[in-house]
Structure 1
Amino acid sequence: MSDPTPGYDPQNPQTRRYGQPPVPPAGAAPGQPPALPPTHDPRADFPEPQRTVSPADPRLTVEAGRFWAGAAATALVAALIGLIGVIVFERIFTIELVPPPDLFATGSQQAAWAIDGAILAILAAGLLHLLILSTPRPRAFFGWIMALVIVVIAVLPFAWTDDMTAAALSGLINLLIGIAVWSLLAGVAGRTIVRRPAV
């Protein structure tokens, strides 16, 4: 006898009467529970990201010829700053200065300042070249080192004399030499650094 309820579906729990067992689907063995619908795996919605192998980190190197040509030009500029500073303050304004160490015993303040400025530029260039080849952020390290060196050479004349005017002007010359070396070598490095993939 058919159920008089309109829209009755034995498999639908919303239309099945209370207490009435579900009717197994056609073809199912007697006593076998109805097959459950396939469940959805939520992990399928979030697939594992693909792991890609990153290329080798680039290594920095220097175009040695152009770099050291720029270093030589920087040494010339540093020497000229020291030479002009002595001429202006001592020869024109007759202000006594505190000379830097005369490394080659020239007996001349002008020569001592020019030679020491050139030596500072060459040493700074060698340090920068070494930092480029060995450190991850060479220009940052070079900037910090040069800043500290400039502070030292700028205040060093105050430890050698009690004349504040002479110490201040000598420190000013040293300061100009240090800033010129720093800025010029930083520009040279920016033009001559080459990035090459690691082997």
Structure 2
Amino acid sequence: MTGEARHRFVVGRLWAGGGATALVAALAAIVVILVASGLFGVPVLVPTGEGAWSGISAAAYAVSAAAAALAATGLLHLLLLGTPRAKSFFVTIMLLLTAITVIIPLSIDADRGARIATAAGNLFLGVLIAGTLSGVLHSAIRAARLVR
């Protein structure tokens, strides 16, 4: 198998899976908000500018999670087009980005419960998006093999 053959994938399947991942991420973000605020009575935090942080609404968190999933799909697509071992790079980049979204809220001056809820929610969403898109990648590559 040549290096070029390893990068064959069905673009439509990749983006359909990315769209489905965006929907799943949006719903998972709503679950995070419901657990944080409904069960523990703490907000999920978002930066509001000039070092200030405040609670984010469920809708805004859901849209942000969906946008992150679509951006991750775009990243995966670009990596598939131009890098060797695209999945390894994708997973590594996603884990590092997830780590950043976990560390930042833990390092701010805010209520401890809100910081932990935000970090845990971001960790959950990052792992969910990376894991789901890794599965989508396998499906898109497998579909390309069947087309040949």
Q: What's the TM-score, normalizing by structure 1?
A: 0.63
Alignment correspondent of 2:52: none
Q: CA deviation at 1:116?
A: 0.8
* Alignment map for 1:89-104 (pairs within 5 Å): 89-99=36-46
For 1:148, the aligned partner's letter is L
Alignment correspondent of 1:58: 4
Greater C-alpha Rg: 1
**Distance change >3 Å, CA 70–CA 90, structure 1 → 2:** same
Does the 8 A contact of 2:29 with 2:65 survive in 1? yes
Kindly provide the CA deviation profile for residues 134-161 of structure 1, in whole angstroms up to 9, marking residues without a partner as x. 1111001011101100100111212343
Does the 8 A contact of 1:62 with 1:129 survive in 2? no
Alignment correspondent of 1:111: 59
Q: Which runs of 5+ in 1 are unaligned?
A: 1-54, 102-106
Q: Which runs of 5+ in 2 are unaligned?
A: 49-54
Alignment correspondent of 2:92: 144
Kindly provide the CA deviation profile for residues 51-76 of structure 1, in whole angstroms up to 9, marking residues without a partner as x. xxxx8643313211111111011011
| RMSD (Å) for aligned C-alpha atoms | 2.2
Alignment correspondent of 2:128: 180
Structure 1 residue 81 corresponds to structure 2 residue 28: yes
More helix by share: 2
Kindly provide the CA deviation profile for residues 14-33 of structure 1, in whole angstroms up to 9, marking residues without a partner as x. xxxxxxxxxxxxxxxxxxxx
For 1:87, the aligned partner's letter is L
Aligned length: 137
Identify which of structures 1 and 2 has the higher relative contact order when contacts are C-alpha pairs closer than 8 Å and 6+ apart.
Answer: 2
Does the 8 A contact of 1:154 with 1:175 survive in 2? yes
Does the 8 A contact of 1:99 with 1:112 survive in 2? no
Does the 8 A contact of 1:100 with 1:112 survive in 2? no
